[in-house]
Amino acid sequence: MAATPLPPQGPAMGNPSMDGGANPAMPPPPGTDMTGICFRDQLWLNTYPLDRNLVFDYFALSPFYDWTCSNEQLRSRAIHPLDLSQLSKMTGMEYMLSEVMEPHLFVIRKQKRDGPEKVTPVLTYYILDGSIYQAPQLGNVFAARIGRALYHISKAFTIASTKLEKVGNADAENESVSSESKPQKEAIDIKELKRVDHILGALGRKLPPAPPPPAFPEGYVPLTAASDSDKAPEDQQPSDGQAPSIDPIIDQGPAKRLRIQ
């Protein structure tokens, strides 16, 4: 099984379990929130293939690697750092390869082992096309999504309020324009009215008198006579010798129509 050359163990990179304590020159342990950075070593990627056998050696070059983990102790003993049979016998921080989609995606989980079957997940890292990232924690993801949703909601309310203000201003302008466009009632000039009446009266005196109305047709009863007859008592019956007055124009009965057979 091929592996990359291990870093030389000297005064600058000693093993804390053998030296009796942590070396001041040893890299500090990685932080819990390193989502703002990524790591990529293009020279290593051009030299070695990125597969499940060498991916941990590539991950150990990144600032996300904890040099005090159990995997580093296995590397110092020339044992593959992801050997589960050896890691299950140890306790402390360790890294496990959880998901693999060679050669594009590798998911590495950092966990704390308290026994052969008792582990507690701590952080998750993923290698995507040679670039190493720390996966954000679920609480941070929810906080970011909720904050983004609140931002868009507040922005929508702000835009809606400005639109309503524009609509209100437009209605006020339309009302002012309509009030200005309405014609004002002109005042009546009494002198001008009398002058027009005088002119119309003078013209009427100059015109010839109106002709008399035409005579009523024979048998037509004027309205005055009809009104007088209506005032008579209803129980008064006409005599047998006198025929009731009939309007020759109105009371002709239904018009005779030609029958088409």
Q: Which residues contact 105 (CB under 8 A, 6 or more apart)?
A: 99, 126, 127, 128, 129
**Minimum mean pLDDT among 114-123, 126-135, 203-212: which range?**
203-212
Centre a 10 Å sphere on the Cβ of residue 173 and count the other Cβ atoms it contains.
10
Structural tokens at position 19? 């030296």
More confident site: 177 or 103: 103
Q: Is pLDDT of 103 > 50?
A: yes
pLDDT value of position 180: 59
Residue ranges of E strands in 67-191: 92-101, 105-113, 119-128, 131-134
Residue 51: how many other CB atoms lie within 10 Å: 13
Instruction: Please confirm whether the linkage preceding 103 is cis (ω < 30° from 0).
Output: yes
* C-alpha to C-alpha distance for 224 and 82, rounded to whole angstroms: 129
pLDDT at residue 29, as a whole number: 79
Mean pLDDT, rounded, for 3-30? 51
* Contacts (Cβ under 8 Å, ≥6 apart) of 193: none
C-alpha span between 85 and 78 (Å, rounded): 15
Reported as a single tens digit per residue, the pLDDT across 140-158 is: 888 888 998 989 888 888 8
Q: Give tens-digit pLDDT for 78-97.
A: 999 999 999 999 999 999 99
* CA–CA distances in Å: residue 193 to residues 186, 188, 197: 13, 8, 6
Render pLDDT for 167-221 as a digit per residue (tens, 0 to 9): 666 666 666 666 655 555 666 778 888 888 888 888 777 777 777 777 777 777 6
| Rounded (5°) CA angle 135-137-143 | 125
Greater model confidence, 195 or 109: 109
| pLDDT score recorded for residue 12 | 39
- pLDDT tens digits along 33-83: 888 899 999 999 999 999 999 999 999 999 999 999 999 999 999 999 999
Using DSSP's 3-state secondary structure scheme, residue 17 falls into: helix
